[in-house]
Amino acid sequence: MHGAEPNKDFRSGFVTVVGRPNAGKSTLLNQLLGQKILIMSDKPQTTRNKIHCILTEERGQIVFLDTPGIHKPKHKLGEFMVDSALESLREVDLILYMVDTTADFGAGEEYILENLKQVKTPCILLLNKIDLIEKDKLLKLIKDYSALKDFLAIIPISAKTGENKDELLKVIFKEMPQGPMYYPEDEVTDQPERFIMAELVREKVLQLTRDEVPHSIAVVVESVEEKKTLIKVRALIVVERDSQKGIIIGQGGSLLKEIGRLARQDIETLLGSKVFLELFVKVEKDWRNRGRSLREFGYSDRS
């Protein structure tokens, strides 16, 4: 597109996706981008950083912000995650508020709606997981939510199957102002490959462990070396307690091996190359409440 006659109808802008943990935000963005950029898990609070995902088409460019789920924080990392999500409401041209239609309306939705009412940014309500509910329930939800806030549009979708994806993109592009291309057209995220690799390792830990373990880990890619026939990646999994280290390593190193096997497959797809992945586990007590550790592992800390 560069060097060609500029497209006067080219639209561009920033869109944030908010919702309770597990509403399906990352699944939707992977669906809209047509490839896996964001990690997915059935565990809440999977997304920790604000990540820019970029969709470029003939009609324009949308920069999506995938934000951490909005929830009541229990530690410093949680506070950073919620601040990060709420801050994004004022920085964008449009808000997509995503609701899981299979979950009951509760304090979490009330909290988000209160915050949405405090900003002037136009907002589209996305009622997700319509492939799992009855039509009568969907019609009732549309009626109930319409009474709570004046939404620009209410669009029932299935992030998993892609149902109504084209309709959603049509409405988003219509709302975007005419503007420039902010990122090169072949770029799909503003995050370096190292960040995505670390996230892919973290996704596998989330999938293969349970209870407190998933939320107590951070993953740091320490080195990436390009050899002749492959890329050597060394990554560190940080946990808060010795018992968690034991769980992640597994009997005879079996779980760590499986985490590495699954993560390596995704990293090879990402890099388009053969990968040798080395994983190490380290205990750093109570890292989620320590500013220095949060900064070191890629999370900002305001204190």
pLDDT digits (tens, 9 = 90+) for 13-35: 989 888 887 788 888 988 988 86
Top CATH class, 11-175: alpha beta
128 is in an annotated binding site: yes
66 is in an annotated binding site: yes
In whole angstroms, what is the distance from residue 196 CA to residue 192 CA? 7
Alpha helices in 149-213 (DSSP H): 165-175, 193-208
144 is in an annotated binding site: no
| pLDDT value at residue 221 | 85
Comma-separated ranges of CATH 3.30.300.20 domains in the chain: 193-297
- The mean per-residue pLDDT over the stretch 172-177 comes to 95
41 is in an annotated binding site: no
Comma-separated ranges of CATH 3.40.50.300 domains in the chain: 11-175
Is a pLDDT exceeding 70 seen at residue 47?
A: no
| pLDDT value at residue 268 | 85
22 is in an annotated binding site: yes
CATH topology of domain 193-297: GMP Synthetase; Chain A, domain 3 (3.30.300)
161 is in an annotated binding site: no
23 is in an annotated binding site: yes
Give pLDDT tens digits for 193-240: 777 788 888 888 888 887 656 567 788 888 889 888 898 989 989 888
60 is in an annotated binding site: no
95 is in an annotated binding site: no
26 is in an annotated binding site: yes
Contacts of 111 (CB under 8 A, 6+ apart): 70, 72
68 is in an annotated binding site: yes
177 is in an annotated binding site: no
Contact (Cβ atoms closer than 8 angstroms) between residue 47 and residue 66:
yes
pLDDT bin (cut points 50, 70, 90) of residue 116 is confident
Residue type, 167: E
| pLDDT value at residue 4 | 45
| pLDDT value at residue 1 | 45
267 is in an annotated binding site: no
46 is in an annotated binding site: no
Within 10 angstroms of residue 130's Cβ, the number of other Cβ atoms is 22
